[in-house]
């Protein structure tokens, strides 16, 4: 029967295509996971050797001298990230509360759209804008400018997380509070936001993890510094900047330090993300993204 033969041939072809597609997907999955593993293996293999107490506590030394470290860069990063959290978290939560609790009409739509726009602004452009706004006025680079650039970058993520989490808080809880005569602002703060807090904190930590590794916005705001600095108005070192400086230098010992610094940075960031995943999986806010 020609018809039967044809359908048999067709079935054989389909089976082959099916196998090929499966193989392709497996191949893609392997190919994606390989660079990740390669990066981690390289970081640990090349960086772990240079890790020591003095590396973590010293400031960089000139080429040729041993014992230089990233202590000042870590302190500077902490300083800059602290400032950025002070700017990004309250503004982000406030905007999120507005969108979730009062967000109706055109203003809210516009704010949502602009928050997405802000999220898409390339980080280098953010650095440039802060340079024009702060550095040009002050005539010098500063930790404050770096913190401002990173803080603004945190806002959209925090806003989105706050809004989404607040919208998940059941209406009945709010009504119960209002029904007891609790003031509206108090209801929002100590009932709605309180209930949504774990999710909001997750959002903040994700924003933090994203911003902690940013280098481009710091190039011409915090600028970097080879020495210890606690003055908010002075150029300040940051870990990603220091890694960049070391990586593009021609010296082998600096390359070594770049790997070790990168190991410290990645452990911080991956640690943050892992904690977030763990908490989110624990079911504190189950069913959320």
79-118 residues in contact with other proteins (CB under 8 A) are 90-95, 97-104, 107-108, 110-111, 114-118
Residue (69 or 164) nearer to other proteins, CB: 164
Q: How far apart are CA 198 and CA 288, in angstroms?
A: 11
44 sits near other proteins (criterion: CB under 8 A): no
18 sits near other proteins (criterion: CB under 8 A): yes
Q: In this chain, which of 78, 86, 109, 124 binds other proteins, going by CB under 8 A?
A: 124
Subset of residues 169 to 188 that bind other proteins, contact rule: CB under 8 A: 171, 174-175, 178, 181, 183-185, 188
Choose the stretch contacting other proteins; rule: CB under 8 A; options: 48-56, 65-73, 75-83, 158-166: 158-166
48 sits near other proteins (criterion: CB under 8 A): no
Kindly provide the b/e burial profile for residues 257-275, where b requires at least 16 CB atoms within 10 angstroms of the residue's own CB.
Answer: bbbbbbbbbbebbeebeee
Please name which of 165, 166, 159 lies closest in space to residue 116, comparing C-alpha atoms.
Answer: 159
Residue (33 or 86) nearer to other proteins, CB: 33
Residue (75 or 128) nearer to other proteins, CB: 128
Subset of residues 126 to 155 that bind other proteins, contact rule: CB under 8 A: 126, 128-129, 131-133, 152, 155
Residue (91 or 232) nearer to other proteins, CB: 91
Is the Cα dihedral 30, 35, 37, 42 positive or negative? positive
123 sits near other proteins (criterion: CB under 8 A): yes
32 sits near other proteins (criterion: CB under 8 A): yes
CA–centroid distance for 211 within its chain: 4
Number of residues forming the site for other proteins (CB under 8 A): 102
Subset of residues 214 to 243 that bind other proteins, contact rule: CB under 8 A: 214-216, 219-220, 223, 240, 243
Residue (68 or 160) nearer to other proteins, CB: 160
Q: How far apart are CA 151 and CA 136, in angstroms?
A: 19
Q: How far is the CB of 206 from other proteins (least distance, A)?
A: 9
């Amino acid at each position: 029967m020609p018809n039967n033969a044809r359908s048999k041939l067709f079935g054989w072809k389909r089976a082959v295509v099916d196998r090929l597609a499966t193989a392709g997907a497996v191949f893609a999955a392997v190919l994606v996971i390989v660079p990740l593993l390669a990066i981690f293996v390289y970081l640990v293999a090349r960086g772990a050797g240079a890790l020591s107490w003095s590396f973590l506590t010293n400031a960089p030394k000139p080429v040729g001298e041993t014992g230089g470290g990233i202590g000042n860069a870590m302190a500077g990063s902490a300083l800059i990230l602290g400032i950025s959290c002070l700017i990004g978290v309250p503004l982000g939560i406030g905007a999120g509360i507005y969108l979730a609790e009062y967000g109706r009409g055109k203003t809210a739509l516009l704010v949502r759209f602009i928050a997405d726009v802000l999220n898409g602004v390339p980080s280098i452009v953010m650095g440039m804008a802060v340079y024009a706004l702060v550095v040009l006025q002050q005539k010098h680079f500063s930790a404050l400018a770096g913190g401002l650039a990173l803080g603004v970058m945190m806002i959209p993520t925090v806003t989105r997380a706050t809004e989404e989490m607040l919208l998940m808080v059941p209406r009945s809880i709010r009504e119960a509070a209002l029904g007891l005569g609790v003031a509206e602002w108090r209801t929002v703060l100590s009932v709605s936001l309180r209930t949504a807090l774990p999710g909001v904190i997750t959002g903040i930590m994700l924003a933090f993890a994203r911003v902690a590794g940013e280098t481009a916005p710091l190039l011409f705001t915090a600028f970097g510094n080879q020495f210890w600095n606690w003055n908010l108005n002075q150029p300040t070192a940051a870990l990603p900047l220091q890694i960049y400086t070391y990586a593009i230098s021609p010296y082998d010992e600096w390359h070594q330090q770049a790997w070790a610094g990168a190991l410290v940075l990645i452990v911080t960031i991956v640690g943050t993300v892992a904690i977030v995943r763990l908490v989110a999986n624990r079911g504190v806010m189950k069913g959320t993204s």
